[in-house]
């Protein structure tokens, strides 16, 4: 991978800016989440020195260890949990992360809400910011709530006191054709818009788009793009599907 962290960050920000411009959007509406899974605390610190403040992790143990290793020197970093979340790992996510993007079951949301430390404790600022993961690729994915079950899940999750429901997250099946990339992102945006219109939920977040398809996601309204390999290089091991 060409260039150091500063150059890679510059390139990714440029891609976001160009896509935002093409969509008639302000690039400042799109937050860049640097997905640091499989890369060590040193790689995160190097990105933080370049001005990157938001990081995404997929594996609870790995993420919690990195947060602990960096807390002293980088207390203002914002940590997002974006990986599959089992019930027996919710406590560590509720106590260590600022955001979670990958909730697709009420039982997990209830645990996160109950286990979120009260404001002030552990230095955490209030409720856990949450996105519901939606299955926008049908058979291709087993994660994510089915769109038909989304309204009821959103209604229940929005009531939980330890959480703040911010929006939706999607991981569509990989596509190379730009139009095919855009379709599931458009679907996710429509689902968000319906929740806002029909249930009055204040959802300001669409977490969608990765290294290979961030332009398509920005064109369809992404407010957070989750970028790993374009920032950190290829991963040694593949993330589980
Ligand atoms: C790994 C991962 C990413 C980043 O993927 P890249 O293709 O490396 O940009 C984004 N979102 C989720 C949920 C991931 O697991």
DSSP structure string for 80-121: EE-S---GGGHHHHHHH-SEEEEE--HHHHHHHHHHSPPTTG
pLDDT at 121: 62
pLDDT at 175: 93
pLDDT tens digit sequence for 90-102? 999 999 999 999 9
The CA-CA-CA angle for residues 159, 165, 170, to 5°, reads 135
pLDDT tens digit sequence for 39-79? 999 999 999 999 999 999 999 999 999 999 999 999 999 99
Angle between helices 41-49 and 5-22 (to 10 degrees): 60
pLDDT band at 113 (very low <50, low <70, confident <90, very high): very high
Distance from residue 201's CA to the centre of ligand 1 (Å): 27
- For residues 129 and 98, the answer to whether their CB atoms sit within 8 Å is yes
Give yes or no for residue 229 CB within 6 A of ligand 1.
yes
Task: Tell me how far apart the alpha carbons of residues 20 and 221 are, in angstroms, rounded to a whole number.
Answer: 9
Q: Is the pLDDT of residue 181 over 90?
A: yes
pLDDT band at 120 (very low <50, low <70, confident <90, very high): confident
Give yes or no for residue 35 CB within 6 A of ligand 1.
yes
Q: Judging by DSSP bridges, how do beta strands 128-133 and 205-207 pair with one another?
A: unpaired
Mutate to test the pocket of ligand 1, among 8, 11, 16, 82 (most ligand atoms within 8 A of CB): 82
Domain boundaries, the chain: 5-232
Q: Is the pLDDT of residue 224 over 90?
A: yes
Give yes or no for residue 85 CB within 6 A of ligand 1.
no
Distance from residue 151's CA to the centre of ligand 1 (Å): 26
pLDDT tens digit sequence for 5-30? 999 999 999 999 999 999 999 999 99
Task: Tell me how far apart the alpha carbons of residues 78 and 82 are, in angstroms, rounded to a whole number.
Answer: 13
Of 205, 201, 231, whose CA–CA distance to 31 is shortest? Answer: 205
pLDDT band at 137 (very low <50, low <70, confident <90, very high): confident
Q: Is the pLDDT of residue 237 over 70?
A: no
pLDDT band at 179 (very low <50, low <70, confident <90, very high): very high
DSSP state of 231: H
Stronger pLDDT, 239 or 223, i.e. the higher one: 223
126 Cβ partners below 8 Å, 6+ apart? 119, 164
β-strand partners of 128: 163
Of 208, 240, 205, whose CA–CA distance to 227 is shortest? Answer: 208
Give yes or no for residue 228 CB within 6 A of ligand 1.
yes
CATH 3.20.20.10 fits 5-232, yes or no: yes
Distance from residue 72's CA to the centre of ligand 1 (Å): 26
Mutate to test the pocket of ligand 1, among 226, 238, 241 (most ligand atoms within 8 A of CB): 226
pLDDT at 119: 79
């Amino acid at each position: 991978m060409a260039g150091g962290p500063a150059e890679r960050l510059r390139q990714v920000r440029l891609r976001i800016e160009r896509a935002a411009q093409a969509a008639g959007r302000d690039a400042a509406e799109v937050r860049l989440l640097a997905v640091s899974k499989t890369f060590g605390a040193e790689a995160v610190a190097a990105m933080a020195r370049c001005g990157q403040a938001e990081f995404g992790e997929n594996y609870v143990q790995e993420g919690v260890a990195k947060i602990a290793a960096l807390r002293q020197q980088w207390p203002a970093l914002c940590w997002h949990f974006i990986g599959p979340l089992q019930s027996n790992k919710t406590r560590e996510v509720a106590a260590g992360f600022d955001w979670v993007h990958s909730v697709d079951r009420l039982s997990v949301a209830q645990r996160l809400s109950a286990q979120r430390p009260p404001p002030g404790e552990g230095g955490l600022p209030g409720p856990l910011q949450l996105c519901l993961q939606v299955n926008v690729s049908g058979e291709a994915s087993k994660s994510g709530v089915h769109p038909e079950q989304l309204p009821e899940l959103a209604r229940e999750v929005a009531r939980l006191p330890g959480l703040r429901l911010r929006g939706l997250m999607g991981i569509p099946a990989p596509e190379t054709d730009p139009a095919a990339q855009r379709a599931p992102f458009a679907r996710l945006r429509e689902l968000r818009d319906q929740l806002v219109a029909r249930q009055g939920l204040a959802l300001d977040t669409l977490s969608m788009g990765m290294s290979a398809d961030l332009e398509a996601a920005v064109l369809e309204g992404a407010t957070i793009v989750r970028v790993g390999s374009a920032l950190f290089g290829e991963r040694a091991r593949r993330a589980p599907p």
